[in-house]
Amino acid sequence: MDLAWLGLTELKAMLDDGRLSSVELTDSLLARIARAEPHLHACVEIYADAARALARAADQARSAGLPRSPLHGIPVLLKDLLDIEGRVCTLGSQRNLNRIATQTAATVERLLAAGMIPLGKTHMTEFAFGGWGTNQWMGTPHNPWDLATQRVPGGSSSGTGVAIAAGYAPVGIGSDTGGSVRIPSAFNGLTGLKVTFGRISLHGTGLLSWTLDSIGPMARNVADCALVLDALAGADHRDPGTLSQPLEQFHRDPRAVRGLRLALPEASQLPAFMDPGVIAAWQAAAKVFESLGVQVVSTRLPEWYFDLSVPAGRIIASEAFALHGAYVHDPAVPLGDAVRKRILAAEAFGPGDYAQELRTMAERRRLMADWFEGCDAVLLPTVAIPAMPVAQVEEASPIPGYLTRPANYLGLCALAQPGGLVHGLPASIQIVGKPYAERTVLSLGQAFEAATGFARQRPALDGLGLS
């Protein structure tokens, strides 16, 4: 049995009944990383010694019969914007190669409390500001679905997307400000959850936009995302945004999907740059949901919905400038050209523009809440195209985040998951839900996954000597 492709529930069962130890699992995944990493370039740093020490401790706790979470003794990979006290955290920037964290992110604290084993940190777009997943100074991870041609990994959680798709670990952590969990999940054939803002604490997380940022799991199936969300969701006094969320369990009690109302927008509302194969996969997904007893309702989204990528970008740029403005003009600071340009775009905004954007966003959120009264979720493609070659990327293109940014702007949750293959590359659907409706989108996603089997499709890695 190839341990690299097992999910969290399967690994837990093997660990519990003694067929597998955490040390064996950790050693197996570290060996896989060592073999693939020279080609895929997904990781910034591997914590081999610390991971093996945690694995030994996990096995000892299991042998002693101590209480354990469902995630106990299972490895995880972390996007390199999550602080771990005493370790380097770069936020994807060469400028931060010597930045030593003085605190530990709440996400890491909760994963460790659940008994998970961090294997290391993954590459990302610089400052999490970009959807293609490229990184001029730190290097761009190689999408494993095409070993011959380097294709975009999706950003900004590029390394996590590549690593989980290549079997480095069963689950990884990304962040999503305008699609940065969902876009790399789409391009790499993964399942990724963008949670409602405030569902998971941002304490100790390198921010891009304190108004729109969220942390989310990336995995190879829906149930694994739900298990990780169970560990991460909850109030944290260090992040006041988390204090108003409802307390829920996401893995144990999925909703019945029969009778749920799933809005299917008119195809004419989608952008002109949609790949026809992606549209066909999205429309086929709607038929699958109908076969499951879901009420698929043809409708139109608010006419401004797909224009929201622009105001979302203004908010992100304004807040990024507030965070990085002290050095963004300095040519001696090694910032990527595209990221520097995105941050400097904030200088074009006039006095009061940022405040007006926030006011307009609040109003649009109220209007969207009214629109949502007629349905439980919306079905959309995640990204308009399959992964393109890195050499063809236009950094200013709106394509990667065009279909994902509206959910961040409107304060919604969303699940991206595999919708089949187009031109031999992953296509992805996106289930967008109301604020704090993660349980609904996870339940719909789990039903779709079981009906299709798309989540079991994997890249061919025999060129790396891997199965």
**Among all residues, which ones are annotated catalytic?**
79, 156, 180
The CA-atom distances, in angstroms, between 346 and each of 105, 128, 321, 338, 401 are: 28, 16, 7, 14, 18
Residue 194's beta-bridge partner residues? 414
For tokens 């349905």, the residue is 375
Region label for 121, one of left (φ > 0), alpha (ψ between -120 and 50) or beta (otherwise): beta
Helices and strands in the chain, H and E counts: 13, 11
Classify burial at 161, counting beta carbons within 10 Å of its beta carbon; exposed 0-12, middle 13-18, buried 19 or more: buried
Could you write out the three-class secondary structure of 196-225?
CCCCECCCCECCCCCCCCCEEEEECCHHHH
* CB-based contact 306:273 (threshold 8 Å): no
Contact 135, 125 (CB under 8 A): yes
Measured CA to CA, the distance from residue 424 to residue 19 in angstroms comes to 36
Q: What is the DSSP string of 172-204?
A: EEEE-SSSTTHHHHHHHT-EEEEPPTTSB--TT
Distance CA 156, CA 137 (A): 14
420 neighbors 284 (Cβ within 8 angstroms) = yes
The pair of structure tokens assigned to 17 is 């009944």
Side chain identity, residue 443:
S
Other Cβ atoms less than 10 A from the Cβ of 319: the count is 21
Between strands 215-219 and 171-175, the pairing is antiparallel
Residue entry with tokens 């190879």: 220
Alpha helices by DSSP H, listed for 292-394, are 309-324, 337-344, 353-371
Residues in the chain: 467
List phi, psi (to 5°) of 200: -125, 135
Closest by CA position to 79, among listed 144, 142, 133: 133
